[in-house]
């Protein structure tokens, strides 16, 4: 599949193979772009700004709604391609498509709501007789650098709000899974002028770095690792940046919790997309009094997970993105066992597959829970009371989302206020997200917010216009 730049299909002599992690078969190839190609994309995106500015908000909204219908019409084809390149079960890919459609709808609606406000200058010294109002204007060119785990939905979370407020975009899709994103860019290009949407494939160390440092780009929206996010923040200069980075999300289970609901929360939160979710349940912090019963229930449900061909609708646990990623998870779990943790179920790797794993007797100082383990692992950390639960929940460099299961709303509100995370859900796992909510964390989990309305705020600049009526 070729890159899309300025409405033209651009290839390269250097090609990157995109492989199915389930059977290692080559699905397709994409060009390995270099800096001159990234520079061409920046030029085309800047040249297209005027054509997008000439469109009314009404027209931009309608065109985005047209893309919604096209995505609906091609839902099954997109889901199949997504499963082939990522390895997630087809049913999960269909859910990602449904979320992507809803996210795109939200952006189409938001295109008509780019509001300014009146400002009472007479509230300030010498402001009597002035009338002032603000406008929210596009930044110009937004570069979106996206990850492999939810390639379509997370890309739409960046480029749809960007276009809705009349920015042009350059997409740098993940090298492991670029195809679904590139196919979606073609749908957008059918509706918008050439150059409004551009794709650049290749390695982040070259083309990603060029986009970050170029003066022709006005905003970077990145989802990925903390290490790369820190490099972007250092190199971006005066650009606006939104960085959605890692998570090490806790799920606190207090002794008065509904254990069946909490177990369901872990199944849906720790094993979704083979655990490759930044807001997935990464640490289960549970009071001693109910830990044994909870573990028994969790093991029983975990062993019902079906690992197999991701295209099979019966499969509930697909592959990791690569065998290398699965080996890393395997080594991290084995190290925890060596340090005293105990595997209750799972713990076996087969190629890029890693079994859904419940591991008990985990302590907060183990690498398994100090760093983000990006795999289908549910680590159990036993604690004595709510005070210790909050302390352990906050013993991390991350602060994306958290879940607390309890029937005591005094403890619920205390946890909600004291746990350091961008979102705290009560009686729901951290993995829950609606596409209209503000999404973004504290500490090393990043800066800025996504969620369409909030992304639009991050992708616009405010101008004040004042009239002297004296």
Q: Is 69 a catalytic residue?
A: no
For the question of residue 244 being annotated catalytic, the response is yes
In 10 A of CB 303, how many CB atoms? 13
Q: Which of helix, strand or coil describes residue 172?
A: strand
* Residues across the chain: 470
Supply 249's token pair: 């999300």
Angle between helices 151-164 and 179-191 (to 10 degrees): 30
Q: What are the distances in angstroms from CA 197 to CA 16, 32, 37, 111?
A: 22, 18, 15, 17
Q: Which residue has 């350091």 as its token pair?
A: 420
Structure tokens at 100: 């992507």
Q: How many CB atoms lie within 10 A of CB 262?
A: 26
φ, ψ at 351 (rounded to 5°):
65, -125
Set 92, 176, 244, 372: catalytic member: 244
Torsion angle defined by CA atoms of residues 287, 289, 295 and 300, in that order, rounded to the nearest 10 degrees = -130
- Phi and psi, residue 436, nearest 5°: -105, -5
User: Catalytic: which of 85, 92, 176, 278?
Assistant: 278
The sheet carrying 377-383 orders its strands as 342-345, 357-360, 377-383, 281-287, 249-253, 401-405, 423-426
How far is it, in rounded angstroms, from Cα 254 to Cα 232? 39
| Phi, psi of 222, rounded to the nearest 5 degrees | -125, 135
DSSP category for residue 139: -
Q: CA–CA separation, 278 vs 248, rounded Å? A: 8
Furthest CA-CA distance within the chain: 79
Backbone angles phi, psi at 203, to 5 degrees: -95, 140
Q: 83 is written with which tokens?
A: 């499963």
- Residues in CB range of 207: below 8 A, 6 or more apart: 33, 34, 35, 37, 38, 172, 200, 201
Residues assigned a catalytic role: 244, 278
């Amino acid at each position: 599949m070729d890159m899309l730049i300025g409405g033209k299909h651009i290839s390269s002599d250097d090609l990157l193979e995109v492989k199915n992690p389930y059977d290692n078969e080559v699905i397709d190839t994409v060009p390995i772009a270099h800096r001159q190609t990234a520079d061409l994309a920046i030029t085309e995106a800047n040249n297209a700004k005027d054509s997008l500015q000439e469109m009314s908000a009404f027209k931009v909204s309608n065109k985005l709604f047209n893309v919604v219908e096209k995505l609906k019409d091609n839902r099954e084809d997109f889901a199949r391609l997504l499963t082939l390149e990522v390895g997630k079960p087809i049913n999960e890919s269909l859910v990602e498509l449904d979320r992507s459609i809803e996210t795109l709808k939200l952006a189409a609606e938001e295109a008509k709501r780019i509001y300014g406000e009146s400002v009472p200058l007479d509230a300030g010294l010498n402001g009597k007789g002035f009338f002032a109002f603000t406008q929210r204007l596009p930044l110009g060119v937004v570069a979106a650098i996206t990850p492999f785990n939810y390639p379509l939905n997370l890309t739409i979370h960046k480029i749809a709000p960007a276009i809705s407020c009349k920015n042009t975009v350059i997409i740098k899709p993940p090298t492991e899974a670029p195809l679904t994103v590139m196919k979606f860019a073609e749908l957008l290009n059918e509706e918008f002028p050439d150059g409004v949407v551009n794709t650049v494939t290749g390695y982040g160390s070259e083309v990603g770095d060029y986009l970050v440092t170029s003066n022709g780009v006005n905003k970077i929206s990145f989802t990925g690792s903390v290490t790369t996010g820190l490099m972007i923040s250092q190199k971006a200069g005066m650009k606006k940046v939104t960085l959605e980075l890692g998570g090490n999300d806790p799920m606190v289970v207090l002794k008065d919790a509904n254990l069946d609901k909490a177990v369901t929360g872990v199944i849906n939160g720790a094993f979704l997309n083979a655990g490759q979710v930044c807001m997935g349940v990464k640490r289960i912090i549970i009071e001693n009094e109910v830990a044994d019963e909870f573990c028994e229930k969790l093991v029983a449900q975990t062993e019902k997970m079906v690992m197999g061909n991701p295209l099979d609708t019966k499969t509930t646990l697909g592959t990791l993105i690569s065998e290398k990623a699965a080996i890393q998870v395997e080594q991290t779990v084995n190290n925890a066992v060596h340090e005293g943790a105990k595997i209750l179920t799972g713990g076996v790797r087969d190629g890029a597959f890693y079994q859904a794993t419940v591991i008990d007797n985990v302590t907060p100082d183990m690498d398994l829970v100090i760093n983000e383990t990006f795999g289908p692992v549910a680590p159990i950390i036993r604690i004595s009371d709510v005070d210790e639960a909050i302390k352990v929940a906050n013993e991390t460099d991350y602060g994306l989302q958290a879940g607390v299961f309890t029937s005591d709303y005094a403890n619920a509100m205390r946890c909600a206020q004291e746990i350091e995370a961008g979102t705290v859900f009560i009686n729901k796992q951290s993995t829950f997200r609606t596409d209209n909510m503000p999404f973004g964390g504290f500490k090393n989990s990043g800066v800025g917010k996504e969620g369409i309305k909030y992304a639009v705020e991050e992708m616009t600049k405010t101008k004040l216009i004042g009239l002297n009526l004296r």
